[in-house]
Amino acid sequence: LELKRMSVSREHRGRGLARALCREVLGFARARGYGAVVLSTSIVQVAAQRLYEGQGFRKVGTSYHTLLGTFLNFQFFHYRCDLGDGIK
């Protein structure tokens, strides 16, 4: 299962909503038999990296989406959270 573009508006940050949403996604995926949840985030999203790593995601790769991104060293980090014995 891919988690894509999760965001909490600035005025609601710091209340644990992103952590709760992430747990909900992981529970949803587990309940439906998925073996893992994957996602990508950019090098500048440090808070997101901490959130995902705190929820059990591990960094499994990096990439650059454009030639300019490569030149500027603007990396995207790819994460994976294994859920156990999923069937999908």
Residue ranges covered by each domain of the chain: 10-82
The token duo for 65 is 């989406």
Amino acid at 55: Q
The token duo for 63 is 């990439």
The token duo for 20 is 């709760």
Closest by CA position to 40, among listed 31, 49, 32: 49
Q: What is the pTM of this model?
A: 0.85
Contact 22, 37 (CB under 8 A): no
What pLDDT shows up at residue 43? 92
What pLDDT shows up at residue 87? 52
Q: Which residues of the chain have pLDDT under 50?
A: none
Please give the CATH number for the structural domain made up of 10-82.
3.40.630.30
The token duo for 32 is 């439906």
